[in-house]
């Protein structure tokens, strides 16, 4: 292993295509996984416990907060969402990069409290497309859709807090950009375990000690 895994934050409005993008990245590049959050949100049809989220009740979630089980947690659209700390660290320790699909509050927390973070904000192609994607999902009622649409616009102004901002104009382009970010960040000199280079005889061990 050349280094510890890094945390790749991916934020953007719901309906913007984060899940689709993540699915592609996980299969197209090795050693990267998606963190599965805990949530109190009701399960949607097509979702599976343990795949999209760990669906728990509020009591369980609050107990986990007390036990400091979350790296971060936040209330989003009236439901609680949290990133489990232990699973994340286990992956990072084995050199696996972990994508966190989290909202702007969670991202802010992770940016200030965790090390080795890369942050990416994903914009929709346009507001019209975002609105129609939220509606087409058909899993939320009109009021929820409108609330998510309004919040999405407020959140988009926060993209300046992220290192990278992408626009999901075409999935193919977005995949290429996201892959490029991850691959380039992996080879940043600051992330290298220099002992790894010395194993190949490329640098003198004494230079790094």
| Binding positions for ligand 5GP, rule: CB under 6 A | 14, 37, 41, 72, 74, 76, 81-83, 101-103, 105-106
123: phi then psi, degrees, rounded to nearest 5: -95, 150
Nearer to ligand 5GP, 141 or 206 (CB): 141
Per the CB < 8 A criterion, the answer to whether 114 and 71 are in contact is yes
Residue closer to ligand 5GP (CB basis): 32 or 76: 76
Q: What 3-state DSSP class applies to 172?
A: helix
Q: Nearest approach, Cβ of 185 to ligand 5GP (angstroms)?
A: 20
- Which has the closest alpha carbon to 153: 16, 10, 22? 16
Pick 132 or 205: Cβ nearer ligand 5GP: 132
* Cβ neighbours around 160 below 10 Å, total: 7
Closest distance of CB 104 from ligand 5GP, Å? 8
Q: How far is the CB of 172 from ligand 5GP (least distance, A)?
A: 22
What is the b/e burial string over 136-145, where b = at least 16 CB atoms within 10 angstroms of the residue's CB? eeeebeeeeb
Is the CB of 36 or the CB of 197 nearer to ligand 5GP?
36
């Amino acid at each position: 292993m050349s280094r510890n895994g890094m945390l790749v934050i991916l934020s953007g409005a719901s309906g913007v295509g984060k899940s689709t993008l993540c699915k592609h990245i996980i299969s197209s590049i090795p050693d990267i996984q998606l963190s599965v959050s805990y949530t109190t949100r009701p399960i949607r049809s097509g979702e599976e416990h343990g795949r999209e989220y760990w669906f728990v009740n509020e009591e369980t979630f609050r107990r986990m907060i007390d036990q400091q089980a979350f790296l971060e947690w936040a209330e989003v659209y009236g439901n609680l969402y949290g990133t489990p700390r232990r699973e994340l660290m286990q992956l990072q320790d084995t050199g696996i990069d972990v994508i966190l699909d989290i909202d702007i509050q969670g991202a802010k927390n992770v940016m200030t409290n965790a090390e080795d973070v890369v942050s990416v904000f994903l914009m929709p192609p346009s507001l019209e497309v975002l609105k129609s994607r939220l509606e087409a999902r058909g899993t939320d009622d009109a009021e929820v859709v409108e609330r998510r649409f309004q919040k999405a616009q407020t959140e988009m102004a926060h993209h300046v807090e992220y290192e990278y901002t992408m626009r999901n104009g075409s999935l193919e382009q977005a995949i290429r950009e996201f892959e490029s970010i991850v691959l380039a960040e992996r080879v940043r000199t600051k992330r290298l375990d220099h002992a790894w280079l010395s194993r190949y005889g490329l640098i003198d061990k004494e230079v790094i000690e």
